[in-house]
Amino acid sequence: NMTSTALTALRCYLAAAPSFPCTFERRELTIGYRGSTVRIPAHLFNPRTRAGAEARAPLVIVSGGVDTWKMELHRIALVLVRLGGFRVVAIDMPGTGESTIPLAPDADLVYRGVLEALRGPSARTAALGISAGGPWAAKLALTGTVDAAVNLGGPVGAAPRDGASL
What's 120's DSSP letter? T
Cα–Cα distance measured from residue 57 to residue 85, given in angstroms and rounded to the nearest whole number: 7
* pLDDT at position 84 over 70: yes
> From the CB of residue 44, how many other CB atoms can be counted at a distance below 10 Å?
20
What is the pTM (predicted TM-score) of this model?
0.88
pLDDT score at 113: 96
Label residue 52 by pLDDT band (50, 70, 90): low
Please give the average per-residue pLDDT across 141-163, as a whole number: 84
Q: What is the mean pLDDT of the chain?
A: 89
